Chain A
Amino acid sequence: MGRVGEMTELAVTRIMLRVNGQMHEMEIDPRTSLLDALREHLHLTGTKKGCDHGQCGACTLLINGRRINSCLTLAVMHEDDDIVTVEGLGAPEALHPLQAAFIERDALQCGYCTSGQICSALGMLAEVKAGWPSHVTADVTAATGALTDAEIRERMSGNICRCGAYPNIVAAIRDIAEEALR
């Protein structure tokens, strides 16, 4: 076992990651989190580092269409995956409908959690579309019902907003839900 503070030889691994449809080759320490690989190596800083322990959701992105916390996974474990970050959703001149809804609804104050909120909401809507139940679904043996505010709040509970913009975040998600779930 390595002891705390003991010097260990730094290993470097060459990997390829597909991020927002583009292949990137990089040489990284195999212990690098996916979050750090994106931010520090590819300089894709849209994905935010909040707690770095899977508690805040600021680092949420989409892997093969499913939302995960990028701080709690290693970059080397995602060579075959399709990674989508907030940079892959829209651009200032061509916003994703959910990005536009966040602006329209004033669904942020400081904005630090926003990219995670948006990636998480898109992953969440895909889960709803696939018929996944949630903790507030009354009967998991039945088909899931409407995406109520209670459902949105429960399903988005992995994303913390310290400014407390929750009411407007729920409203922004609700604005695009019908179209997204069609």
Chain B
Amino acid sequence: MQAAVAAVSRTGAKFISGGTNLLDLMKLEIERPTHLVDISRLPLKQVDDLPDGGIRIGAQAANSAVAAHARVRALYPALSEALLAGASGQLRNKASIGGNLLQRTRCPYFYDTAAACNKRDPGAGCAALGGFNRIHAVLGASDACIATHPSDMAVAMSALEARIELLSRDRSTRCVAIDDFYRLPGSTPHIDTVWQPGELITAVILPPPPPGGQRYRKVRDRASYEFALVSVAAVIATDRETITAARVAFGGVAHKPWRSFEAEAALRGRLATLTTYEAAADVAMRSAVGRGQNDFKIVLAKRTLCRTLADAAQIAAERPS
């Protein structure tokens, strides 16, 4: 691992793992690394139980292996569901957990090298602002970028309060909460995360599962093999009819997986009813701003949250943890 971190310190070098996003972007000359350092065979594929009841997922584990892992399915079903909702069978077999975290936006203007894109070419402008922005962000966006983060997995990890373990050039290790790992675009949308050059993602650490039922729901233009318009990861625990704890994260609506602490606060202590869910949904989308073609996402996100919370509450009732 130290050799890999040393090798990637050359200017313009990048790690390659599954390669499913990086090679795609290289073919389009959006990513232009001078060297690639293959980390796919590092011994980082294990899913290990932790003494505190959580798990440690090696960053080189394949998305499909983690989705099918018995402990993940039993303890973190929302993560398994999110992984299975993403990409295709072939891609999930190749894509790594670390690579999934670092995948780039699917904004069509980011992909079109003839279009203005501040994320690809800082200072160039944002063609999406006045362009076809049906799939773009409604929360946390800026005048420089309205792109969304494409991962399903990271949305579930956000609700599950995952931490990202990174190994740096000076051999030190740090752990970053997933909510702090991703950045909002601000005036520097070319920087997706707080990842520092040369750092190697070694693992994702999940704390013990939160109490209650978990659910990941994805809404998209096709039934399969399509990115989310809106997705929701929800965890809800009830005592009789009262919500005792809740976690809410949205996908497809922002530059990062959008954890809604406001919605969670609006759920706690209230009755597990549609009225409560609708009130939480209003709170979650209070600061949402549509850009024209994506206005529908605000309504869709609210409805998806209500449905996902209802599902999670039913699961909590049927499968007491």
Contact = CB atoms under 8 A, between A and B. Distances in A.
Interface of A: 1-2, 4, 31, 33, 52-54, 57, 60, 66-69, 72-74, 76-77, 80, 120, 123-124, 127, 130-135, 137, 139-141, 153-159
Contacts of B88: 54, 57, 157-159
Given A72-B20, A131-B68, A54 B90 contact: yes
Contacts of B224: 135, 153-154, 157
Given A135-B85, A135-B224, A67 B90 contact: yes
A60 B81 CA distance: 24
A68 B90 contact: yes
Contacts of B85: 135
Contacts of A4: 29, 32
17 contacts: A54-B88, A66-B64, A67-B90, A68-B93, A68-B94, A73-B23, A74-B19, A74-B36, A77-B16, A77-B19, A132-B67, A135-B84, A135-B224, A140-B73, A140-B81, A141-B77, A158-B90
Contacts of A130: 68
Nearest to A59: B90
A120 to B, nearest CB: 7
B91 interface: yes
A76 B36 CA distance: 11
Contacts of B18: 72-73
A77 B23 contact: no
Contact of A155 (B20, B89, B91, B94): B89
Interface in B1-58: 11-12, 16, 18-20, 23-24, 26-27, 29, 32, 34, 36, 38, 40-41
Interface residues of B, number: 38
A156 B36 CA distance: 31
Interface of B: 11-12, 16, 18-20, 23-24, 26-27, 29, 32, 34, 36, 38, 40-41, 64, 67-68, 73-74, 77, 80-81, 84-85, 87-91, 93-94, 223-225, 319
Contacts of B32: 1-2, 4
Interface centre among B64, B74, B93 (most CB of A within 10 A): B93
B90 A120 contact: yes
Contacts of B11: 1
Contacts of A54: 20, 24, 88, 90-91
Contacts of B29: 4
A141 B16 CA distance: 32
